């Protein structure tokens, strides 16, 4: 069964990682959460990424500041790598965002919003759903629920 | 067979779209290039996105400035949507980038570098390769070629 | 009688919406507050915008991050659309601002300051006042009150 | 008949002003183009704005750098003031944009994109169209033409 | 005797104004604090600035967001105008700073740091000291005191 | 007679310095142009600044990138120091601007617009004019000429 | 024995300085902490820097806003100067960062992350380790400890 | 003898690398220029960095956009790593700068100005000069030459 790796650069990113894991779980998808640092444990990062294909279908990388984690993993694997720039004090995470999204030609990283852990998970879902109709069905339900929440909020605000 | 839609917000983005199409073609992937504007042809954009699932496996959206194209398409389809922020004069395309990458919780858009058309195509390839070993093989070859180009450049510079 | 729609992208924007509604009410203008998301309820957003002309004289759209709401509504209606970029952590709302103000040629959105809900309402008032002398009279009074508040603050500070 | 004032802060902004004037002319709207500087001719700016109501239905202000023109005019008139931030070297016109859009509570300025002269004119059209059905009809035609241009570009790109 | 006007755009800027007034008082300089808004009381701002020469030797203008106060005053007076950009949420006051510092050719405004009220006052002192040796003497003492404070802090940190 | 020093950090800033010198000359003010680098000739910079009071009435410092020249001179002299941030590739000179304007409490530098050499000179004129009525008279004439230029441009544009 | 100077521009930077000192102490390196301001005590800064070679092997300079301290010291000494930009409200310390990192050709300053005091110390260690094998051994141990911390965090997160 | 590695992420950075090599050569220092990509040749980058200690005294890394090269090398070696952010279109190289300078605690990279290749080389010289008096002597001469160039430029400008 498809399994997603959620890798964070530092244990302090755990709350972000857990939001991604929660979304994946709600879709019945297995996830493995890891702490691997592109800079403090480069050998482990390379080793993880080199063997990721055999264990996972996609990788979600969560990192801040000079956030190289997604790029380093992407450089060693052919799997789709989705990266979440973590909010920092530098223009609200612009350092994380630019370090991730501006990858050079040849090695893409799919970037989502700053602190956008849920969307990273949903992107992983939509990627797996390309070849999994049951999962796409669940995604449809998720979207419908999303729609209903907004519709309900609309009704409440109109009542007043 | 898997087919990718490449949608640009304006005919002036054609050179960017063609770079994406070129990469897809080199992987033997079919692509359809379209000009659809989120703002000038909203009905067409919605119609395109609503029916995209039946025709494509993923969508690449190319747009600049207040670049809503990727988000609008993503709001109507369950397919993975990859977006390329087009370079502008405002901080080199920061308007395009932020308009695309900062999508709200629930509707992700996979963002690549400013003007990063090739990487959008390669991301689409890696997404399809999740369930297509032959394609992943081609991606491996592509990466190997990339490696060799750099290695060759290294040799040339060391010779001097 | 002229009526203004105040649409917010998320229920969390209610405090901003209420400031706009409060200003409109003080001018005796009817307002309808709605929660409609460009991304989570795109069909509702399109439907709302397509029929807005028959019910409203102008639309105020309140949204943050990749704030497409104003642009999406503007793409479906000929009414003046005024948009309020909501403050975020990314450079204090620069993501919202650029997503809104940088609209492409053909479909304008009248943008006010980040979190500038009162000014959005006042802009709507000035727009309606183009053909409503009584309303312009009220706007004149509002400006006079504004002037007096500042003059009074000036007197207080000079007394010390 | 409704008449729009197009005021630029410096004669060097004439190409921008002419794009706005061109759009207004295509809608059969009268426009008067002026060079008035908030800083070099403050008395003239105040005088112009104080009497604008009797001559115009709306004002378009075009200025760059510390672009106070729109705000100064708005402080003296009850007319809707639309402002175009002119592109500069500082982050592509971020100085102009922030000087215009960040107006304080009480005195709104309707801001459009950097160098967005056409959209300033179109916004003026939509404002006048609130009480002018014939004009709204023309706006509808304009939008339809816009749609057709994009559709045609789409057809051309699909033919290849 | 030389007198300095300290003008703030809003009563909420009082704490900033008081820091400037405090420094001037410590130099034995008379200051008059005013609340005048470039946008809410434009006539008063113009009137104040037109007659400032007869009452003051320099003007300190304190304003935030689209901070036109310094520029508006400078456009009506030949006195040196010093402006303090007030901190805001937009990149920490970048909107205020750019609105003030980017004045067009012909009408300068002497800009100090964001929230730099004390330096605005010290700049006023140094301007008056150009023709006032006694004041320059006091400025020398101030600088010496500044030097001693740093030297003392240095000694304390070295003791440990 | 009053004399102004115009100091540039690098000979490449000469065109900027010459614009400042030109304005001063047009007011009949003596200026001395110097090339002194805060970083390459720190002793000369200190020596220059220490003795500036005896020779000049004010200093204009022109520098780019990590532009310390104005701050270094200000730290050694009690004269008013006016600084011109030179345009660079980093956000159009934001590096120069922030390096200059954000001076710490105690040592102000009067900052003008990026590349705003003329305004630096005009600010120096207004500073000297505080105690020189003849000079203020010339400044009044300058402003009047400025006004006439704009008025003439206005007339030309209205003729068409 | 090698000794490092840690210089801060203001006593308020002491917490940052202490983090650097702590890291140096953990490597058994002597450090001297100083408060010297480039602007308030320029003579002391010059004197310190001129004689630094005889007492220290490297200098760490900690400063914020228009942070000239590192550049001023570098202009007077041939020692490696490492600078820490202190976090501020302006885009999270972008003023400090640009004031430090954008040094002109000829006088380099080794810049680390905003508030990156520990890394400044570690950079000093790696510089001394170029000619000190024992120190390099300690650096290796430090890196190994770093690796183990991350590995342990990884194990903990995987256990759950 | 001490040898410096100059590594660039792409052959297109050669002009930048050559400026660094030129400075090193002028100090009689051996340099080896390499093309190694953190993303396209990650194994080679790791291998290079792991063995760098045995061949070099310091590493200069030149890279742009999401510039991970310096960080990746620093994560594998104990040598001082100096990085040059290459100019790009995104705010003039702010993406490169932030990707490099914002390294996390534990793994420092000594960052110089955007495109500051000469300063990277000079920083390497000053690092080697910590334990090499002859080299420090050459650095002193270099500084003296620098001083003379500025002094000469000063004389020329004063002659006119």
Per residue of chain G (160 residues), give pLDDT as tens.
Answer: 689 999 999 999 999 999 999 999 999 999 999 999 999 999 999 999 999 999 999 999 999 999 999 999 999 999 999 999 999 999 999 999 999 999 999 999 999 999 999 999 999 999 999 999 999 999 999 999 999 999 999 999 998 7
> Region B22-45: what's the mean pLDDT?
98
Verify whether the Cβ–Cβ distance H42 to A76 is below 8 Å: yes
Among chain D, residues having any CB pair with chain C shorter than 8 Å are 53, 57-58, 78-80, 82, 97, 101-114, 116, 118-120, 122-123, 126-131, 136, 139-140, 143, 146
CA distance G82 to H130: 14
Element (H, E) at C49: helix C42-50
Structure tokens at C97: 């601002």
φ, ψ of residue A149 to 5 degrees: the values are: -60, -45
CA distance G89 to chain F (A): 11
pLDDT of B7 above 80: yes
Cut 0.90: pTM above it: yes
First CA to last CA distance, chain H: 48
Instruction: Name the residue of chain A whose CA is nearest to C43's CA.
Output: A147
Q: Provide, as residue numbers in chain C, all residues whose Cβ is less than 8 Å from the Cβ of A93.
A: 89-90
Question: Are the CB atoms for C103 and D119 separated by under 8 Å?
Answer: yes
Calpha distance A83→A67 (Å, rounded): 9
Question: How many Å lie between the alpha carbon of H52 and the closest alpha carbon of chain F?
Answer: 32
Going by the DSSP 8-state scheme, the letter that residue A153 receives in this structure is H
CA neighbours closer than 13 Å in the CB half-sphere of residue E116? 32
> What is the distance between the alpha carbons of residues F99 and H96, in angstroms, rounded to a whole number?
20
pLDDT at H1 over 70: no
Among the partner residues F10, F72, F95, nearest to G72 by beta-carbon distance: F72
Q: Cα separation of C3 and B148, whole Å?
A: 66
How far is the C-alpha of D26 from the C-alpha of D28, rounded, in Å?
Answer: 5
Task: Give me the residue label for tokens 């002319």.
Answer: D25
Q: Which residues lie below 8 Å from residue G51, measured CB to CB, with a gap of 6+? A: none
Cα–Cα separations (whole angstroms), residue F76 to A7, A99, G4: 53, 40, 28
What is the rounded CA–CA span in Å between residue F124 and residue F59? 8
CA–CA min distance D75, chain C (Å): 9
Interface-testing mutation among H37, H61, H70, H72, with chain A (most A C-beta atoms within 10 A): H72
Helix/strand/coil for D99: helix
Using an 8 Å CB-CB cutoff, list residues of chain D that contact chain E.
9-10, 37-40, 42-43, 46, 64-66, 68, 71-72, 74-76, 88, 90, 94-95, 98-104, 106-107
In the structure, do chain H and chain G come into contact, i.e. share 3 or more CB pairs under 8 Å? yes
Question: CA C59 to CA B16: how far, in whole Å?
Answer: 35
**Measured between CA atoms, how close is E53 to chain G, in angstroms?**
33
Show which subunits contact B, needing at least 3 CB pairs below 8 angstroms.
A, C, D, H
Give the separation between CA H143 and CA F40, rounded to whole angstroms: 7
Angle between helices D94-101 and D69-76 (to 10 degrees): 10
| Chain-chain contact of D150 with B66 (C-beta, under 8 angstroms) | no
Q: Which helix (H) or strand (E) holds B78?
A: none
Chain position carrying tokens 């020469």: E53
Cα–Cα distance for residue pair C70/C60, rounded to 1 Å: 8
pLDDT digits (tens, 9 = 90+) for G45-54: 999 999 999 9
pLDDT value of residue F75: 98
Give percent of chain A with pLDDT exceeding 90: 98
Cβ atoms of residues D103 and E66 within 8 Å: yes
Q: How far apart are the first and last CA of chain B?
A: 48
Q: Which of G27, B109, A41, G139 is nearest to C99 (CA)?
A: B109
> Is E78's CB within 8 Å of F136's CB?
yes
Q: Tell me how many degrees the CA angle D126-D128-D133 measures, rounded to the nearest 5.
A: 85
Q: What is the mean pLDDT of residues A109-136?
A: 98
Half-sphere exposure (CA, 13 Å, Cβ side) for G130? 27
Interface residue of G143, G149, G154 to substitute, partner A, most A CBs within 10 Å: G154
Which residues make Cβ contacts (< 8 Å) with residue G46, sequence separation at least 6? F42, F43, F46, G72, G76
CB-nearest partner of A123 from B80, B102, B128: B80
Minimum distance, in Å, between the CA of residue G32 and any CA atom of chain H: 18
Q: What is the pLDDT of residue H2?
A: 86
B32 Cβ contact partners less than 8 Å away, ≥ 6 residues apart:
B3, B4, B5, B6, B55, B56, D158
Structure tokens at C121: 């309402």
Give me the sheet containing F81-86, strands edge to edge: E30-35, E3-8, E58-64, E81-86, E110-111, F110-111, F81-86, F58-64, F3-8, F30-35
pLDDT of res. D1: 67
H/E run at residue E40: none
Of A4, A10, A49, A46, nearest to A25 by C-alpha is A4
Q: What is the pLDDT of residue H159?
A: 86
Asked if C103 and D153 touch (Cβ cutoff 8 Å), the reply is no
Partners of residue H87 in chain F, C-beta under 8 Å = 89
Handedness of CA H9, H12, H18, H20 (dihedral sign): negative
Average pLDDT (H96-121) is 98
Give C128→chain B minimum CA distance, Å. Answer: 25
Task: Kindly report the nearest CA distance between residue B33 and chain D, in angstroms.
Answer: 6
Helix (H, G, I), strand (E, B) or coil at C111: strand
**Two tokens at E2?**
């030389």
Mutual orientation of helices A94-101 and B94-101 as an angle, nearest 10°? Answer: 90
Q: For residue F121, give how far its alpha carbon lies from the nearest alpha carbon of chain D (Å).
A: 17
Best mutation target, A2, A78, A100, A104, to test chain B (most B CBs within 10 A): A78
Across A154-159, average pLDDT: 94
Pairwise CA distance, residues B68 & B85, whole Å: 10
The pLDDT, as a whole number, for residue C2 is 86
Q: Which pLDDT belongs to residue G1?
A: 67
Chain D residues with CB under 8 Å of B33 CB are 157-158, 160
CB contact under 8 A, F39 and G74: yes
Spell out the per-residue pLDDT of chain E, length 160, in tens: 689 999 999 999 999 999 999 999 999 999 999 999 999 999 999 999 999 999 999 999 999 999 999 999 999 999 999 999 999 999 999 999 999 999 999 999 999 999 999 999 999 999 999 999 999 999 999 999 999 999 999 999 998 7
By the 10 Å C-beta count (0-12 exposed, 13-18 middle, 19+ buried), F128 is classed as buried
Chain A positions with Cβ closer than 8 Å to G: 10-11, 14, 32-37, 40-41, 44, 65-66, 88-92
Contacts with C34 (C-beta within 8 Å, 6 or more apart), sequence order: A154, A157, A158, C5, C6, C7, C8, C48
The candidate with the shortest Cα–Cα distance to E31, out of E54, E59, E50, is E59
Mean pLDDT of all residues in C46-65: 98
**Residues of chain A positioned with their CB less than 8 A from the CB of G154:** 34-36, 41, 44
What residue ranges in chain A does DSSP mark as E strands? 3-8, 30-35, 58-64, 81-86, 110-111
User: Could you give the CA distance from residue H19 to residue H23 in angstroms, rounded to a whole number?
Assistant: 6
Chain A residues closer than 8 Å to B120 by CB: 108
Which chain A residues are Cβ-neighbours of C91 within 8 angstroms? Answer: 91-92, 94
Backbone angles phi, psi at C65, to 5 degrees: 60, -130
pLDDT band at C159 (very low <50, low <70, confident <90, very high): confident
Digit-coded pLDDT (tens) for D14-69: 999 999 999 999 999 999 999 999 999 999 999 999 999 999 999 999 999 999 99
> What residues of chain C lie within 8 A of the CB of E14, using their CB?
157
Surface-to-core class of residue A149, CB atoms within 10 Å of its CB (0-12 exposed, 13-18 middle, 19+ buried): middle
pLDDT confidence band for A1 (50 / 70 / 90): low
Q: DSSP letter for G78, please.
A: -
Q: Is F92 left (phi over 0), alpha (psi -120 to 50) or beta?
A: left
């Amino acid at each position: 069964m498809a399994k997603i790796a959620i890798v964070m650069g530092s244990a302090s990113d755990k709350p972000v990682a857990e939001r991604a894991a929660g979304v994946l779980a709600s879709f019945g998808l297995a996830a493995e959460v890891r702490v691997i640092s592109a800079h403090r444990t480069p050998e482990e990062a390379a080793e993880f990424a080199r063997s990721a294909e055999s264990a996972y279908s996609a990788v979600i990388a969560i990192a801040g500041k000079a956030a190289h984690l997604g790029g380093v993993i992407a450089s060693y694997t052919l799997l789709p790598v989705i990266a979440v720039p973590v909010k920092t004090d530098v223009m609200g995470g612009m350092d994380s965002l630019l370090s991730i999204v501006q990858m050079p030609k040849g090695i893409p990283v799919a970037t989502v919003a700053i602190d956008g852990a849920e969307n990273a998970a949903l992107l992983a879902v939509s990627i797996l759903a390309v070849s999994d109709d049951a999962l796409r069905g669940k995604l449809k339900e998720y979207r419908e629920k999303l729609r209903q929440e907004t519709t309900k909020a609309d009704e409440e605000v109109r009542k007043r």
